[in-house]
Amino acid sequence: FIDSILINEKNKVNLIENDPILFQRIYNYFQLHYRKENFNKKVDWKKSQRTEIFKSNLKYVLQHNENPLNTFKLKINEMSDWTDYERDQLRTKITNEPLNRNQPIQSRQHIQIPDFYDWTNQNRVPGAVTPVKNQRHCGSCYAFAMVGALEKTYAQIYNQSGPLSPQELVDCSYANGCEGGSFTDTFNYIR
């Protein structure tokens, strides 16, 4: 949506900064698209902290995407108006497990690592890397990481693909659900 509105504009960041009607239109679409609870409430959008956070993130995304030296594009998502604290709550849920000091760490110095590796084209299995999933406000990154690795491994072994369910791991792996989890507990459940 944002790209289609600003497609022919030269200085998108300046336009966002100087055209409050356009910015409000984009912000309203963002709220509607991501079903923000305060969308229909009487909130002065100019004074809203979330509005300012969104505006700052929107400008950051636009500046990044306009830079031809960047090799990837950023997008606005449902977290674009979150505070740093809200985002941090999702990033601190993995349980650190003690290392097994009885097993020596294997050296990998003899392995030649390529400069570029594209997981999406390995074994030419369509869909071997599934689209990005969203854990929302659930601290379940352990389950999403495990499912991503399993989907790729399954495609390599069986030469077919299919999305697996992070929700099953959150619900059934005894790894504390949305309160964070352990890769070991999750792996043991899968075995």
Q: What percent of the chain has pLDDT over 90?
A: 11
- Whether the per-residue pLDDT at 191 is higher than 90: the answer is no
Measured at the alpha carbon of residue 161, what is the angle toward residues 159 and 163, in degrees to the nearest 5?
160
- For residue 112, the model assigns a pLDDT of 77
Please give the C-alpha separations between residue 117 and each of 15, 104, 114, 120, 156, in angstroms, as whole numbers.
38, 28, 7, 9, 15
What pLDDT score was predicted for residue 60?
Answer: 94
pLDDT at 97: 58
Instruction: Quote the pTM value.
Output: 0.54
Confidence of residue 114 (pLDDT cuts 50, 70, 90): confident
pLDDT-derived band of residue 98, with 50, 70 and 90 as boundaries?
low
Phi, psi of 71 (to 5 degrees): -95, 0
Q: Would you say domain 2-82 falls under CATH 1.10.287? A: yes
> Would you say residue 75 has pLDDT above 70?
yes
Question: Which of 64-78, 86-100, 129-143 is least confident?
Answer: 86-100
Tens of pLDDT, residue by residue over 169-190, are 888 887 777 877 777 878 888 8
- CATH 1.10.287 region(s) of the chain? 2-82
Taking the CA atoms of 113, 132, 34 and 27 in sequence, report the sign of the dihedral they define: positive
**Residues 122-156: tens digit of each pLDDT:** 556 666 777 777 777 788 888 888 888 888 888 87
**Confidence at residue 124, expressed as pLDDT on a 0 to 100 scale:** 63
The CATH 3.90.70.10 domain(s) of the chain lie at 119-190
Q: How far apart are CA 67 and CA 74, in angstroms?
A: 11
- The answer to whether the beta carbons of residues 156 and 122 sit under 8 Å apart is yes
Mean pLDDT computed over 13-30:
88
Q: Which residue bears the tokens 């869909």?
A: 127
Average pLDDT score, the chain: 78
Pick the CATH number of 119-190 from 3.40.50.300, 3.40.20.10, 3.40.50.1100, 3.90.70.10: 3.90.70.10
pLDDT band at 100 (very low <50, low <70, confident <90, very high): low
- Sign of the Cα torsion 55, 58, 59, 60 reads positive
Mean pLDDT score, 17-31: 89
Q: For residue 189, what pLDDT is reported?
A: 84
